[in-house]
Amino acid sequence: MENYHVAEAFNLTKIKKLNIFEKIQPELLKVLRKRTIECVLATDMALHAKIISQITSKIDYYSQLGNGVSFIDFYSDEKNNNTKFEIQQEFMNFIVHVSDIAHPAKTWEIELKWSNLIFKEFFNQGDREKSMNLPISFLCNRETTNIPKSQVGFINNIILPTFGLVKTLLPNTDDLIRFIEENLIKWNELDIRQTKEKEELQMRQHIKIAIEEE
């Protein structure tokens, strides 16, 4: 999907009225294209662990130098141009990847809206897989997926550790962390409420069956 999206984006720039790169020199465009493709491909969640490992190791390295660490280090602290380019790309990949999964770092209204849209897409995929007699992908089964519980796990296991790294590099991000923590509380509350409602519904069904059997 990521390959398709970035390929189509650059195909659109072949249309003259959409060519935002028209005045950019060919050599610079080559670099820009490479940077953009790398960033878009980095939004694939299959690469999450690799990206986090890269950034964590760089943070540990710069921290050991004793001067603290910031995103500036990723752009300035390398003498070898090739290595510098790669380190810059790792940081850019990280920031774009973070932005791609950052809906829990927004207000509850936005977080809830985006989560519902994401699961609408997931469930549509699951319905299609079911109709084709294919195994239903993770989180794509509308009959068994617990959205609040899945979001609690997503925030605890992915978002909070990731934004811990963001805060190390960009300290002025307290509001983002606060939104994440507030949304985690709301998802937990929603999970408890839905679980209780489900249990009450099951209890009523059992009582109804018992009465009918009598």
- What does each of the 214 residues of the chain score in pLDDT, given as a tens digit? 899 999 999 999 999 999 999 999 999 999 999 999 999 999 999 999 999 999 999 888 888 876 667 777 777 755 666 688 888 899 999 999 999 999 999 999 999 999 999 999 999 999 999 999 999 999 999 999 999 999 999 999 999 999 999 998 888 899 999 999 999 999 999 999 988 888 777 777 777 776 776 6
| Residue 43 placed within a domain | no
Q: Which residues contact 86 (CB under 8 A, 6 or more apart)?
A: none
- From CA 166, how far away is CA 177, in angstroms rounded? 10
Which amino acid appears at position 65 of this protein? L
Confidence at residue 77, expressed as pLDDT on a 0 to 100 scale: 59
- The count of domains in the chain is 1
Assigned domain for 113 exists: yes
Amino acid sitting at position 211: I
Range of the domain at 175: 102-214
CA 193 to chain centre: 26
Q: What is the pLDDT of residue 196?
A: 86
Phi, psi of 70 (to 5 degrees): -150, 170
* 47 found inside a domain: no
- Domain assignment present for residue 30? The answer is no
Cα–Cα distance, 78 to 86 (Å, whole number): 10
Chain Cα centroid distance, residue 75: 24
The verdict on residue 63 lying in a domain is no
136 lies in a domain?
yes
